[in-house]
Amino acid sequence: MAAIDPNLYARTRNHLEGAVTGLSPYITHGYVSLPRVHELIERQTGRALGPQDKLFAEFGWREFFHHVWRYAADGILSDMRPGLAGVRYAGGVPQDVREARTGVPVIDEAVRTLYRTGYLHNHARLWLSSYLVHWRKVAWRSGADWMYGHLLDGDLASNHLSWQWVAGTFSAKPYLFNAENVARFAPRRWHSGQTEVDHGYELLEALAHRNGQLPARASPRRPGPVPEPIGEPPLWAVPPESMFNIRDQQYAHAPLGGSEPQEWVHPWALAERSSATLRLGVLHAEFHRLFPWSEVRWRFVLTRMRAVCDAIVWIDPQAAQPPALSSMPGIMQTSLAPGYRDLEHREGVQVIPAPRLLPDPGRPCRSFSAFYKDATARWVSTRTR
């Protein structure tokens, strides 16, 4: 937090080596909320941070994606609008992409960085997703699920709606890039001249709207060494036993007795303890079967959950003897994730809203501009009262 400079961020954020905040894993998993981040930035910089600032607008994009998720629910997992007419997409991410051996440096570097760090700069995410959807004709949902599993900061709304924005199913047109764009914003090892991304935008636009083979390269490069393949880290629907033994955790740690409400803490609400209330970390098998995580992300979440909770319970409705949370009343921060949101409907559960920076417009907004105009006007109004 102390290193954030909103002005430097605005000038350099598009560059892979720019002054981005690196806060996204902590915001995604609720270590810190956007209102708290905003408060701390204003305090340390000594100036107001508002809608005119690029960093504030990026916070707005995160809240916009969650706004769409609240209204569309699981609809964000399917096309939000018709895609490119007549274009056929295949399921599954190609093996050469998974092994970072496409021979296109920007793609291979992005995959290697994703596996190594669990993080990608936003520009690298856009380049990788655009390549898969428009060059390799991979269905956006296949690519989105794959990337989500490896991201430490994987946010279902931000990730999947961004992939739809690239594909043209949540935007007016598909997102495309070329080698010149990469050279402008990425370090030299990412540069991809004389590869299949080295074309003008007119040709790339035609590529996005067609099926079949890639067009001939404008200036084929000389054959070079094929990159050594790398192994894709496995994705786990159940945490590895080395860090979480479900047979031990499933029943023994459910709190018993008492009449005070217990707080149920899910993986997106991992804030510091604010009271003496008993805190029970909950992991719901239904969600993780649909969206498995890398070992790195499981460790990130479980380490934090153990630090801020009194116990952890694995909930699996399909188990022969599914564990009961407890007969005590519960308090839970709202969650939109499949499985986790079902907990809100259990008898005796008090749901508290997740912290928000911007007021919700109170009606579904399909575009960021409409959402941001309405939400920031409401935000300014509350600040000036």
Question: Kindly report the CA angle at 234 between 102 and 339, in degrees rounded to 5?
Answer: 120
Local structure of 294: helix, strand or coil: strand
Q: Return the pLDDT at 328.
A: 63
Res. 223: pLDDT tops 70 = no
What integer is the mean pLDDT of 353-381?
Answer: 96
Q: How confident is the model at residue 330 (pLDDT cuts 50, 70, 90)?
A: confident
- Cα(first)–Cα(last) distance of the chain, in Å? 28
158-192: pLDDT as tens digits: 999 999 999 999 999 999 999 999 999 999 999 99
pLDDT for 247 = 66
CATH of 95-208, one of 1.10.10.10, 1.10.579.10, 1.10.510.10, 3.40.50.1360: 1.10.579.10
Average pLDDT on 227-244 reads 91
Placement of tokens 């655009």 in the chain: 130
Counting other chains too, the contacts that 231-236 makes at CB distance below 8 Å and 24 or more residues apart are 231/99, 232/98, 232/99, 232/115, 233/115, 233/150, 233/294, 233/295, 233/296, 234/294, 234/295, 235/149, 235/150, 235/292, 235/293, 235/294, 236/288, 236/292, 236/293, 236/294, 236/295, 236/298
Q: β-strand 235-236 against 311-315: which pairing, if any?
A: unpaired
In this predicted structure, the answer to whether residue 334 has a pLDDT above a threshold of 80 is: yes
* Mean per-residue pLDDT of the chain: 91
Instruction: Give the pLDDT confidence score for residue 369 in this predicted structure.
Output: 96
Domain ranges, ordered by start, for the chain: 6-77, 95-208, 235-352
Q: State the pLDDT confidence band at 311, using cuts at 50, 70 and 90.
A: confident
Residue 175 confidence (pLDDT): 98
Global pTM reads 0.93
**90 in helix, strand or coil?**
strand
- Residue 340 burial (C-beta neighbours within 10 Å; 0-12, 13-18, 19+): buried
Residue 317 banded pLDDT, cuts 50, 70, 90: confident
Average pLDDT over residues 270-278: 88
pLDDT score at 293: 98
